[in-house]
Amino acid sequence: SSSSSSAAPLPPPAASRSTSQNDVHPKLRRDASDFEFGATLGEGSYSTVMAARDKHTGSWYAIKILDKKHIIRHKKVKYVDIEKNTLNRMNHPGIVRLYWTFHDQQQLYFVLDLARNGELLTYIKKVRANSLATPLGAFDLPTTQFYAAEILSAIEHVHEMGVIHRDIKPENILLDENMHIKLTDFGTAKILESLDDGGKDSLTRHRANSWVGTAEYVSPELLNDKSTCKAYASSAIISFLLILKSAAPNQSPTNTNSPAASPHLSTSSDLWALGCIIYQLLTGRPPFKGSNEYLTFEKIKNLQYTFPYGFPDVARDLVSKLLVLDPATRLGAPEQGGIKALKAHAFFEGIDWERLFELPAPKLH
């Protein structure tokens, strides 16, 4: 690797086969020597993702490689565990599948579905830059309807598996070779009713260190949770002070419950993000965007966004029912009939939910 950072994990050496296990059934176990590593697909703050071919089957995967020392040094062990434990629960065509995990002396490896077409965000930008984009700025209504439905289908599965994703955004929605989505990045997810809680309130156990989401897509209830604010602020101390000041004495009008009511633990935080994404798919930009994180948060908390001229009525109706400050009154919230009620919205009319991932994806211009 040409990377100068000592923290960047290197591709594994070609001959690092562990002798601890014989060649058991090739499906049962894998280690780095079972793969031929190809191109680097991307780098995260704590990981490198490489394309890799299974030598036994010829199948291609994306392998996420994490440097153990780096993870420990930066206190990210917990997030790596969360990613593994939540991904392990998932079994849905619209969610990146985790096939194997293994490790050697230096590195951890996650063998994942390969999403050959990269991030949805890239396509939003591409279409936006293209003169063929709709007058609104990005995808046309049928294309938006299709991707919104795939994202919603994936979200439904995440929630059914007892998980809240908490960082759904176009960078975390990858596209496979057929341009169907693969939701990824479960490092900030939250397992709702963990069996090993021993009856304890998981909220009190987890909230102290939780850090959640990305500014533009974070829901107001997550913002009004002080521990979340603190986490965001780690990137900007000034924001931290300003947010605490505005959040502490004067809670948003919707946050009337005591923390015990845990509004921020609601699955509908992911539905807020869906509302933001539908808006962005149509217009090319997220609904809430300030010139810094603090201003973005202010806009979110004040529900300060507008629909541009030409925004389709049916999408406008849906987005305005998702971008609702109170998570309990948001369309798709358990209190509102759940995701079934959301799927029944006119915006999704004509969607074949059963065959969505088998049907051809719409062509992007």
Pick the closer one to ligand ATP by CB: 41 or 324.
41
Q: What is the DSSP string of 89-132?
A: H---TTB--EEEEEE-SSEEEEEE---TT-BHHHHHHHHHHSTT
| Nearest Cα to Cα of residue 276 among 330, 234, 232, 227 | 330
Q: Should residue 44 be labelled a site residue for ligand ATP when binding is judged by CB under 6 A?
A: yes
Q: Should residue 113 be labelled a site residue for ligand ATP when binding is judged by CB under 6 A?
A: yes
What are the tokens at 221? Answer: 């209830």
Q: Should residue 47 be labelled a site residue for ligand ATP when binding is judged by CB under 6 A?
A: yes
How far apart (Å, rounded) are the C-alpha atoms in residues 354 and 230?
41
Binding test (CB under 6 A) with ligand ATP, winner from 32, 80, 82, 96: 96
Q: Should residue 64 be labelled a site residue for ligand ATP when binding is judged by CB under 6 A?
A: yes
Binding test (CB under 6 A) with ligand ATP, winner from 8, 17, 37, 42: 42
Q: Should residue 265 be labelled a site residue for ligand ATP when binding is judged by CB under 6 A?
A: no
Binding test (CB under 6 A) with ligand ATP, winner from 30, 35, 49, 223: 49
Q: Should residue 181 be labelled a site residue for ligand ATP when binding is judged by CB under 6 A?
A: no
Question: Which SS3 state, helix, strand or coil, does residue 59 take?
Answer: coil
Q: Does the annotation mark 104 as catalytic?
A: no
Q: Should residue 54 be labelled a site residue for ligand ATP when binding is judged by CB under 6 A?
A: no
Q: Should residue 114 be labelled a site residue for ligand ATP when binding is judged by CB under 6 A?
A: yes
Find out whether 278 and 322 touch, Cβ atoms under 8 Å: yes
* In the complex, least distance from residue 185 CB atom to ligand ATP, rounded to whole angstroms: 5
How far apart (Å, rounded) are the C-alpha atoms in residues 177 and 351?
21
How far apart (Å, rounded) are the C-alpha atoms in residues 292 and 343?
34
DSSP 17: -
The binding site for ligand ATP (CB under 6 A) comprises 41-47, 49, 62, 64, 96, 112-115, 118-119, 174, 184-185
Catalytic residues: 167
